[in-house]
Structure 1
Amino acid sequence: MTILYAHLNIASIEETGVIAGIGATWAVNRNGFTTDPGAFAASIAQHRARGSMPAMLLHHDHQRPIGRWTDIEPKADGLHVVGKLARDTRDGAEAYNLVRAGALSGLSIGLGPGSNLKFVDERGEGNTRVRRYTQADLNEVSLVSVPADPDALVLTVAGLRSARDIEDMFRQANVSSRKAKAAATAAWRAIDATAEPNTENLKHILSAATRSLSRFHGDKK
């Protein structure tokens, strides 16, 4: 099996164990590998036809499944994955806690061997060797502790449990205590009134609010 350590962007991890991120980008990683955006198209289509998904593993260990990927889609910036950690299992609970703590901060894809694995060897920057995969079977996407991209952006949005969690987000963005508390209280009322808030929309709303409020943090009361 070929393993490609990739850029990680954990977009969200909710209290329910739902996790979303980018399993691979189309850039060359520090191991000299890259994949075409369409490299997994046939493999993903086959999974969907069978009603299956690539495995969700911990550190590429086939003896340590930690949940199930529910959606995998290639987009312009990379291979987007959404899944749910099995928090009622030992490994699933471990992975969840480590991600929440920021200690498990990488994603990595595992490609199946065989005739479906196709690639071309090219020369990249500084005449370095680059292997570009043009077609591959996507066997699994693992959570790992050391991704190959040293500049990988890790963005974790923990499940919100109270207005204090939102207030802390504002405070970290240098919003004044008074304004952070007022904004968090109003935001929590709106969130708490919704049975199933859209986490992705919520993340963008709070990020925009944080940027706006941070411009006016002169009062530290």
Structure 2
Amino acid sequence: MLKAVTAFSLPRRGKENAGTVLIEGHASLWNVADLNGDVVAKGAFGDSLARTGPGGVRMLHQHESRAVVGVWDEMLEDDRGLFVRGRITDWSPDARYAAALARAGALDGLSIGFRAVKARRDGRLRVLTQVDLWEVSLVTFPMLPGARFGVVER
């Protein structure tokens, strides 16, 4: 299991990253039902992250596959859920739009795109015990209301 990192250093602002917006938050929370009745069990992302790392998970805007807006630099399972840290870039109009919305506080939701590998029913809930994580999107309305990110000030 991965351990949470509490201290980190941010890159210095320079020409190479002047348009980059650093973000972090929780893309999923353990044992909290989303609006669709899915619950993610602690450890559900472990195998997927061990196989692909954060580089194998896409950062999209609104789950739109053509709108890759940045990269995830860090993903780990902590005591609260799936913690993510990444960079919204300025490489496309979609990315610049997402960055502007995030800076303004108008976009702060996270939503996961995945394939359920192992799950069980618990009444009306589907408990996900192993998932193959494909993408984490920046969204206006997250299916899991507590899945949020914030902009990291440099």
Report the TM-score when normalising by structure 2: 0.79
Pair 68,136 (structure 1): closer, same or farther in 2 beyond 3 Å: same
2:75 is matched with which residue? Answer: 72
Unaligned runs of 5+ in 1: 1-13, 124-128, 160-198, 200-221
Aligned residue among 15, 40, 43 for 1:38: 43
* Residue of structure 2 equivalent to 1:136: 131
Letter in 2 for 1:79: L
- Give 1 or 2: higher strand fraction: 2
Larger Cα Rg: Structure 1 or Structure 2? 1
- Verify the 8 A CA contact 1:53 1:68 in the aligned structure 2: no
Secondary structure of 2:141's aligned partner: coil
2:21 maps to 17
- SS of structure 2 residue aligned to 1:71: strand
Over residues 163-193 of structure 1, what are the superposed CA-to-partner deviations in whole Å (9 max), with x where a residue is unaligned? xxxxxxxxxxxxxxxxxxxxxxxxxxxxxxx
Taking only aligned residues, the RMSD between alpha carbons, in angstroms, comes to: 2.2
Q: CA deviation at 1:112?
A: 2.7
1:111 pairs with 2:114: yes
Q: Percent identity?
A: 35
Query: Size of the alignment, in residue pairs?
Result: 136
**Change over 3 Å in CA distance of 1:32–1:83 after alignment to 2:** same
Structure 2 match to 1:87: 90
Match runs of 1:1-221 below 5 Å: 16-26=20-30, 27-48=32-53, 52-112=55-115, 117-123=117-123, 129-150=124-145, 152=146, 156=150, 159=153
User: Is 2:72–2:86's contact at 8 Å kept on the other side of the alignment?
Assistant: yes
Higher RCO, 1 vs 2 (CA within 8 Å, ≥6 residues apart): 2
